[in-house]
Amino acid sequence: MASDMPLVQLPQRGERINVPLVQSRSEDQRLVTSARQTDKIDADDLVALANQLNSARQLVKGRACDRLKQIADQMEQLHMAARAVLEDAQRDEHLHNVPCNMEKQPGRIYHLYQKQGSMNKYFSMLAPNEWGYQEKKEEYLGSYRLEYDRSWTPVGEMDRKDEEVARLQQLLQREGPVALRGNPNF
Amino acid sequence: MAQSKPAYKVADIKLADFGRKEIILAENEMPGLMAMRSKYGPSQPLKGARIAGCLHMTIQTAVLIETLTALGAEVQWSSCNIFSTQDHAAAAIAQTGVPVYAWKGETDEEYEWCIEQTIVFKDGQPLNMILDDGGDLTNLVHAKYPQYLAGIRGLSEETTTGVHNLAKMLAKGDLKVPAINVNDSVTKSKFDNLYGIRESLPDGIKRATDVMLAGKVAVVAGYGDVGKGSAASLKAFGSRVIVTEIDPINALQAAMEGYEVTTLEEAAPKANIIVTTTGCKDIVTGKHFELLPNDAIVCNVGHFDCEIDVKWLNTNATKKDTIKPQVDRYTLKNGRHVILLAEGRLVNLGCATGHPSFVMSNSFTNQVLAQVELWTKFGTPQEYKLGLYVLPKTLDEEVAYLHLAQLGVKLTKLSDEQASYLGVPVAGPYKPDHYRY
């Protein structure tokens, strides 16, 4: 039951608005009784209150929606980032499983091929133009650099990745001395 | 041919500094090659030679390559085995500007590509000399580049396998280039096989297992050159060595050296270590494994991996534990264990780093002399005609001579009277060609 209930209930469009008022004291408790009934609610007053209440509710609703939207956007972004991470991991895993006779060393570029007429992929030290055989250009699938964290970077994304690393290193160098000022306190 | 041939192809050029340091160390241990440099360097006898070399690209080979270039040759290199390249050695050689195409772990296609890159030199000039180990480069040039054969003055071959190949080609009339068999120089096969293994066998066993050799019963199957070296080193460590042989001459030799000689069936129940050196097949089989005491170590130093029945172990053992690469501990059905090294392949290469530099200096000095012979005799009356030769005994003796000073050996001189009494020249050669050493 409870799980069907919405967590937060927001006013629906066209809903009849009940203006909740402060309860008056009973007649015998009052000291002043206005002849012109100035302490009684007038219909006009009620409309004004209702309007105010209504617009307040709209604003609350709008504001909540805005804030929720931000979270939703972030969730969407996180979801996409998570997906990219998983896809990268899958690709890295796949590339690590490709048959290769060499001991792969980080920092080096390896070239991926697929034997013609078969599903067998393999890594080579040789780029397609180095082989000198036409069939190697047809078998060529792409080139990847093995990173020090054992991930793979496609050659096309290498420049971007290097810039990113260089920027981070600059940042570290700038922040470094500040962070290291004074000896650590053990 | 590739129009965009790279200047070199190695695993990682950044390893060059490390390689250079090891080359400098090895140079000290390769006096034969260094003597060739100081003796022939000034006269540049190999000037004009374009040598395509195909031989394990190791530190020792790097010293060989630099000796050839010091004698004036232009050199291009590939490795004769897809796994034998030492990447730092290749990088150091590449950095000197020598085109080298070799890395550890090539595919078979890459292997062929590497060899092909060494055939045409810069400016499109083809090779005019071959230095080969195993015959792959020789075969490739004969099969795919016959147009260059006429321009090749000669080839020198390092190993037994390659020499067999050359003999077959010669018999069929396929060989088109004069060839020198370096393998059968006394200073190659009688040193490499005997003294090389004497150090690299215990190196392999100890790196793999750290076993104490003293007191153990060690069986050496085969008492040829490799068997003699294996038995000698195990005995020197204090093992009680038993030899098995099929040839009565070798069996008697072993017995006269003080080894017990018996069959493997009789020796197996007490064999703590078995080393096969025969060059034959099916030496250690299932029935022997079942007789072995617990945790017996079994390994091979013969050329091919058919001496130990590894297949039987893999199918009949109840469990196989890989302790580290190249060290497998099998549990047999009888509950005992067998430790197999290097999967039955050469244990001195699989578990250690092969022969030391000094003994390789003997082999490679023969290679340099063979190249100089073939190149400089060309066009003279002594020119090597098409055929398969061994180096003249004078050169074999020279190779040995060049290694003496490093060891502080003092040679006794033959007087004229003594020389005429023996009927040999004062300066050698001292032995007839059939002498066995």
pLDDT in tens, B112-145: 999 999 999 998 999 999 999 999 999 999 999 9
Collect all residues of chain A within an 8 Å Cβ-Cβ radius of residue B110.
124-126
Domain count, chain A: 2
Q: Which of B3, B104, B113 lies at the smallest CB-CB distance from A102? A: B104
What phi-psi label fits residue A25: left (phi over 0), alpha (psi between -120 and 50 degrees) or beta?
A: beta
ipTM, interface predicted TM-score of the complex: 0.77
Answer whether A101 sits within 8 Å of B107, measured CB to CB.
yes
Q: Where are the beta strands (DSSP E) in B115-216?
A: 129-132, 154-157, 179-181
Least reliable range by pLDDT among A50-64, A76-90, B108-122, B129-143: A50-64
User: Which pLDDT score is estimated for A186?
Assistant: 60
Confidence of residue A28 (pLDDT cuts 50, 70, 90): confident
Q: What number of other Cβ atoms are within 10 A of residue A169's Cβ?
A: 11
Q: What SS3 class is residue B75?
A: strand
pLDDT > 50? residue A148: yes
Average pLDDT estimate for A49-67: 89
Q: Which CATH superfamily is B195-351 part of?
A: NAD(P)-binding Rossmann-like Domain (3.40.50.720)
User: Which pLDDT score is estimated for A4?
Assistant: 63
Average pLDDT, chain B: 95
pLDDT > 50? residue B191: yes
Q: Are residues A113 and A168 in the same domain?
A: yes
Last residue of a domain, one of A33, A63, A91: A91
User: Which pLDDT score is estimated for A7?
Assistant: 60
Which residue in B4, B87, B113, B144 has the most chain A C-beta atoms within 10 A of its own C-beta, making it the best mutation to test that interface? Answer: B113
Answer whether A130 sits within 8 Å of B6, measured CB to CB.
yes
A132 touching chain B per CB within 8 A: yes
What is the distance between the alpha carbons of residues B340 and B338, in angstroms, rounded to a whole number?
6
Least reliable range by pLDDT among A23-37, B130-144, B404-418: A23-37
With respect to residue A105, please indicate whether it lies within any of the assigned structural domains.
yes
Burial of residue A154 (CB within 10 Å: 0-12, 13-18, 19+) is middle
CB distance B359 to B34 below 8 Å: no
Answer whether B9 sits within 8 Å of A125, measured CB to CB.
yes
Last residue of a domain, one of A91, A117, A148: A91
Average pLDDT estimate for B393-402: 95
What is the distance between the alpha carbons of residues B379 and B131, in angstroms, rounded to a whole number?
20
CB distance B363 to B399 below 8 Å: no
A10 touching chain B per CB within 8 A: no
Confidence of residue A13 (pLDDT cuts 50, 70, 90): low
User: Which pLDDT score is estimated for B4?
Assistant: 63
Collect all residues of chain B within an 8 Å Cβ-Cβ radius of residue A101.
82-83, 105-107
Helix count (H) and strand count (E) of chain A? 4, 4
Alpha helices (H) along B210-346? 225-236, 248-256, 264-267, 286-291, 310-316
pLDDT > 90? residue A52: no
Q: Are residues A157 and A103 in the same domain?
A: yes
Q: What number of other Cβ atoms are within 10 A of residue A32's Cβ?
A: 6
Tell whether residue B110 is among the known ligand binding residues: no
Alpha helices (H) along A33-157? 43-96, 128-131, 134-139
What is the distance between the alpha carbons of residues A110 and A44, in angstroms, rounded to a whole number?
81
Tokens 């599903």 — which residue?
A119
Q: Are residues A103 and A147 in the same domain?
A: yes
Q: What number of other Cβ atoms are within 10 A of residue A109's Cβ?
A: 13
Answer whether B4 sits within 8 Å of A102, measured CB to CB.
no
Confidence of residue B367 (pLDDT cuts 50, 70, 90): very high
pLDDT > 50? residue B267: yes
| Tokens matching residue A66 | 């805005």
With respect to residue A63, please indicate whether it lies within any of the assigned structural domains.
yes
Cα-based distances in Å from B218 to A88, B215, B235, B241, B275: 54, 9, 9, 5, 8
Query: Which one has a higher pLDDT value, A14 or B361?
Result: B361
* CA–CA min distance A102, chain B (Å): 4
Answer whether B103 sits within 8 Å of A108, measured CB to CB.
no
What is the distance between the alpha carbons of residues B141 and B128, in angstroms, rounded to a whole number?
11
Tell whether residue B21 is among the known ligand binding residues: no
User: Which pLDDT score is estimated for B2?
Assistant: 44
Domain membership of residue A74 as a residue range: 43-91
CB distance B399 to B370 below 8 Å: no
CB distance B243 to B263 below 8 Å: no
> What would the DSSP string read from start to end of B360-385?
HHHHHHHHHHHHHHHHHHTTSTTPPP
CB distance B153 to B380 below 8 Å: no
Tell whether residue B318 is among the known ligand binding residues: no
Dihedral (CA of B213, B219, B221, B227) sign: positive
Answer whether A130 sits within 8 Å of B9, measured CB to CB.
yes
Confidence of residue B189 (pLDDT cuts 50, 70, 90): confident
3-state secondary structure B225-264: HHHHHHHHHHHHCCCEEEEECCCHHHHHHHHHCCCEECCH
A129 touching chain B per CB within 8 A: yes
User: Which pLDDT score is estimated for A178?
Assistant: 52
With respect to residue A14, please indicate whether it lies within any of the assigned structural domains.
no
Please state, for a pLDDT cut of 70, what percent of chain B lies above it: 99
Average pLDDT estimate for B258-262: 98
Last residue of a domain, one of A25, A60, A91: A91
* CA–CA min distance B333, chain A (Å): 34
Kindly report whether the peptide bond that precedes residue B429 is cis, defined as omega within 30 degrees of 0.
yes
Which residue in B4, B18, B107, B117 has the most chain A C-beta atoms within 10 A of its own C-beta, making it the best mutation to test that interface? Answer: B107
Collect all residues of chain B within an 8 Å Cβ-Cβ radius of residue A129.
4
User: Which pLDDT score is estimated for B34?
Assistant: 97
With respect to residue A16, please indicate whether it lies within any of the assigned structural domains.
no
Q: What number of other Cβ atoms are within 10 A of residue B117's Cβ?
A: 24
User: Which pLDDT score is estimated for A1?
Assistant: 45
pLDDT > 80? residue A127: yes
Residues of B with CB under 8 A from a CB of A: 1-6, 9, 11-12, 82-83, 103-107, 109-110, 113
User: Which pLDDT score is estimated for A185?
Assistant: 60
Predicted TM-score (pTM) of the model is 0.80
Confidence of residue A71 (pLDDT cuts 50, 70, 90): very high
Q: What number of other Cβ atoms are within 10 A of residue A102's Cβ?
A: 20
Quick one: chain B helix, strand, coil %, rounded to 5? Answer: 45, 15, 40
What digits encode the pLDDT tens for the residues B290-337?
999 999 999 999 877 899 999 999 999 999 999 988 899 999 999 999
User: Which pLDDT score is estimated for A25?
Assistant: 77
With respect to residue A144, please indicate whether it lies within any of the assigned structural domains.
yes
Of B209, B228, B222, B348, nearest in space to B282 by CA: B222
Collect all residues of chain A within an 8 Å Cβ-Cβ radius of residue B1.
132
Q: Residues of CATH 3.40.50.720 domain(s) within chain B?
A: 195-351
What digits encode the pLDDT tens for the residues B36-75?
999 999 999 999 999 999 999 999 999 999 999 999 999 9
Tell whether residue B302 is among the known ligand binding residues: yes
pLDDT > 70? residue B174: yes
Collect all residues of chain B within an 8 Å Cβ-Cβ radius of residue A122.
107
- Chain centroid, CA A94 distance in Å: 26
What is the distance between the alpha carbons of residues B130 and B122, in angstroms, rounded to a whole number?
17
Q: Are residues A74 and A122 in the same domain?
A: no
Q: Are residues A105 and A163 in the same domain?
A: yes
What is the distance between the alpha carbons of residues B106 and B309, in angstroms, rounded to a whole number?
27
Enumerate residues 6+ apart whose C-beta is below 8 A from A86: none
**Sheet with B179-181, edge to edge strand ranges:** B100-101, B74-78, B50-54, B129-132, B154-157, B179-181, B388-390
Q: Are residues A110 and A53 in the same domain?
A: no
Opening angle at CA B217, ends B215 and B223, nearest 5: 125
* CA–CA min distance B119, chain A (Å): 14
Q: Residues of CATH 3.40.50.1480 domain(s) within chain B?
A: 13-188+355-400
State residue B353 phi and psi, 5-degree precision: -110, 25
* CA–CA min distance A165, chain B (Å): 21
With respect to residue A129, please indicate whether it lies within any of the assigned structural domains.
yes
**Span B13-188+355-400: which CATH code?**
3.40.50.1480
| Tokens matching residue A131 | 């082989």
With respect to residue A72, please indicate whether it lies within any of the assigned structural domains.
yes
Of B57, B60, B79, nearest in space to B22 by CA: B60
CB distance B230 to B220 below 8 Å: yes
Tell whether residue B32 is among the known ligand binding residues: no
- The DSSP H or E segment spanning A142 is strand A140-146
